[in-house]
Chains A and B, each alone.
Chain A
């Protein structure tokens, strides 16, 4: 039978560092559970893998650009779509079968819960987007000339886009489609202003200003710096803008989920 032994009891009223470590462990547990449970769900496969690869092929086939130069575009698209797709798949499904309530009743902060969810999106995005790098380097003559830029590209983009997905997942809904639809209203237009299909240098000035505001622009540019094909705004601006967006999206996702809890 279950014993309520005092010595058994794990208390969290320890130091700040042990409390912090506890939050990290719980966030990691949530991320690994999401990986096991949701990575192979049809909505995750469709919006996270099929969608960016299909888009890439439909815009690249028949264009007179060497494949090695197109690899950064594919990296950026997969990072963008894969990272931002996990939250909108996981959270509505968990809301529908009420498993999201488990996190709200667990002795952890909402920030840790959402960080766990964000981490699942980051790992999914990085895991898928690394494939074009390996394929490009192995088969199409791509060369990694700036490891730092590539690491910054992967780390900041996956964080920002995963948090973007979590932010949209605060939209009340119990199916991934209810979140994916408004998210795609944002994601798809960004493709056309972010220098993926048209180099930013070829755009009119006002469009260049708009591209500066798109986080995807800076993912594409950092991927290009990493693989030695050059960029427009420069890596410092790319890192600063992407870092800023990552912070804003994380903050907004937590705020929106807190607001949701008040309406529950």
Chain B
């Protein structure tokens, strides 16, 4: 048995709404498996079925060889879960949260205490172990939640959006922890909106859209499937007000996207676009500070498959102004 997770026709209906539609996939033991998809695609519903919170309407799922429906106790013993919301007991201290989790897994007292101390030190929270977690920041609560998922020395950890909305320090600690845990042999099943994060961390990713698996492969192989989609990234020292519209008028341009202070021009012919950019900068007396030609990113694959571009604050503001 090389697979940590295996699903066969896994399906979930909420009344008449089909949330997950007969999905089939495998996660290999020891890999970091990314589960990507837009909001409402079925990511969290899939995790909830795999972890036993929710019962599938149809199909089966095994975790570390145990059927989550028929052998739920054995399957659950193998896993740690970090849900999309930090579900910790805010009335309890950091220490008590971890110890209680140890009790749920029936760990002996000595082992509970050792593990709690080890994990709190690992996540930089040992000094504040006696404080009630209701006073902790969002990032600290997230770290506690991950520490709780590691109390039972599981073989696989499910993380649902583990770094979403966190401060930079917490994001870095969490990513580093995930890497280390994976290096020690733990299988990681992670859902994320952060495609850059998925591209950097995951051995393989599955893209789910409208309840169906749209693609599943390594990030690099997925990028190769849309190799024809190339882009030129440009930034000017001072950006003209109507630059976005001007750039869209260039020949051979498929799409222009404003990304922060840069523009990304999607094209099949980067050399032609480079010439157009140069002419535009000269005729408007603009100083070019960045010019890059880029291959397709995981985000491009995602957009290509789902038709949804992940929104940034910048693009939201731009849309609002329009």
Task: List chain A positions with a Cβ less than 8 A from chain B.
Answer: 1-5, 8-13, 22, 25-26, 29-30, 33, 36-37, 97-99, 101-109, 261-264
In Å, the complex CA distance between A26 and B152 comes to 14
Report yes or no: A97 in contact with B87, Cβ–Cβ below 8 A.
Answer: yes
Report yes or no: A12 in contact with B103, Cβ–Cβ below 8 A.
Answer: no
Distance (whole angstroms) from the CB of A135 to the closest CB of chain B: 30
Q: Which of B48, B153, B181 contacts A8 (CB 8 A)?
A: B153
Residue interface mask B149-168, A partner, CB < 8 A = 1: 01001110000000000000
Is the CB of B73 closer than 8 A to any CB of chain A? yes
Report yes or no: B55 in contact with A26, Cβ–Cβ below 8 A.
Answer: no
Distance (whole angstroms) from the CB of A112 to the closest CB of chain B: 10
With A29-B100, A102-B87, A264-B55 given, can you name 15 additional A-B contacts, CB distance below 8 Å?
Answer: A1-B180, A1-B184, A2-B118, A3-B153, A10-B107, A26-B104, A29-B103, A33-B89, A97-B90, A98-B83, A106-B104, A107-B105, A109-B73, A261-B55, A264-B48
Report yes or no: A106 in contact with B85, Cβ–Cβ below 8 A.
Answer: no
Report yes or no: A105 in contact with B51, Cβ–Cβ below 8 A.
Answer: yes
Q: Which of A13, A30, A101, A108 contacts B53 (CB 8 A)?
A: A101
In Å, the complex CA distance between A98 and B81 comes to 12
Q: Which residues of A contact B53 (CB under 8 A)?
A: 101, 104-105, 261, 264
Is the CB of B186 closer than 8 A to any CB of chain A? yes
Pairs across A and B, CB under 8 Å, 12 listed: A9-B153, A10-B105, A25-B106, A29-B100, A29-B103, A30-B104, A98-B85, A99-B87, A106-B104, A107-B76, A108-B104, A109-B73
In Å, the complex CA distance between A109 and B83 comes to 20
Is the CB of B101 closer than 8 A to any CB of chain A? yes
In Å, the complex CA distance between A251 and B16 comes to 29
Distance (whole angstroms) from the CB of B271 to the closest CB of chain A: 50
Query: Given that A2-B150, A97-B87 are contacting pairs, would A13 and B74 also be in contact in the complex, using a CB cutoff of 8 Å?
Result: yes
- Name A13's closest neighbour in chain B (CB-CB): B74
Q: Which residues of A contact B104 (CB under 8 A)?
A: 26, 29-30, 102-103, 106, 108
In Å, the complex CA distance between A261 and B56 comes to 10
Distance (whole angstroms) from the CB of B18 to the closest CB of chain A: 15
Query: Given that A10-B108, A25-B106, A104-B52 are contacting pairs, would A33 and B100 also be in contact in the complex, using a CB cutoff of 8 Å?
Result: yes
| Total contacts A-B at CB 8 Å | 100
Is the CB of B124 closer than 8 A to any CB of chain A? no
Is the CB of B79 closer than 8 A to any CB of chain A? yes
Q: Which residues of B contact A8 (CB under 8 A)?
A: 111, 153
Identify which of residues 44-59 in chain B touch chain A, using a CB-to-CB cut-off of 8 Å: 48, 51-55
- Name B79's closest neighbour in chain A (CB-CB): A105
Report yes or no: A37 in contact with B107, Cβ–Cβ below 8 A.
Answer: no
- Name B148's closest neighbour in chain A (CB-CB): A102
Distance (whole angstroms) from the CB of A73 to the closest CB of chain B: 34
Q: Which residues of B contact A29 (CB under 8 A)?
A: 100, 103-104
Is the CB of B201 closer than 8 A to any CB of chain A? no
Distance (whole angstroms) from the CB of B158 to the closest CB of chain A: 9
In Å, the complex CA distance between A151 and B279 comes to 94
In Å, the complex CA distance between A10 and B72 comes to 16
Closest 8 CB pairs between A and B?
A29-B103, A98-B87, A264-B54, A107-B76, A107-B77, A106-B104, A107-B73, A104-B53
Query: Given that A26-B106, A103-B104 are contacting pairs, would A5 and B153 also be in contact in the complex, using a CB cutoff of 8 Å?
Result: yes
Q: Which of A10, A25, A105 contacts B81 (CB 8 A)?
A: A105
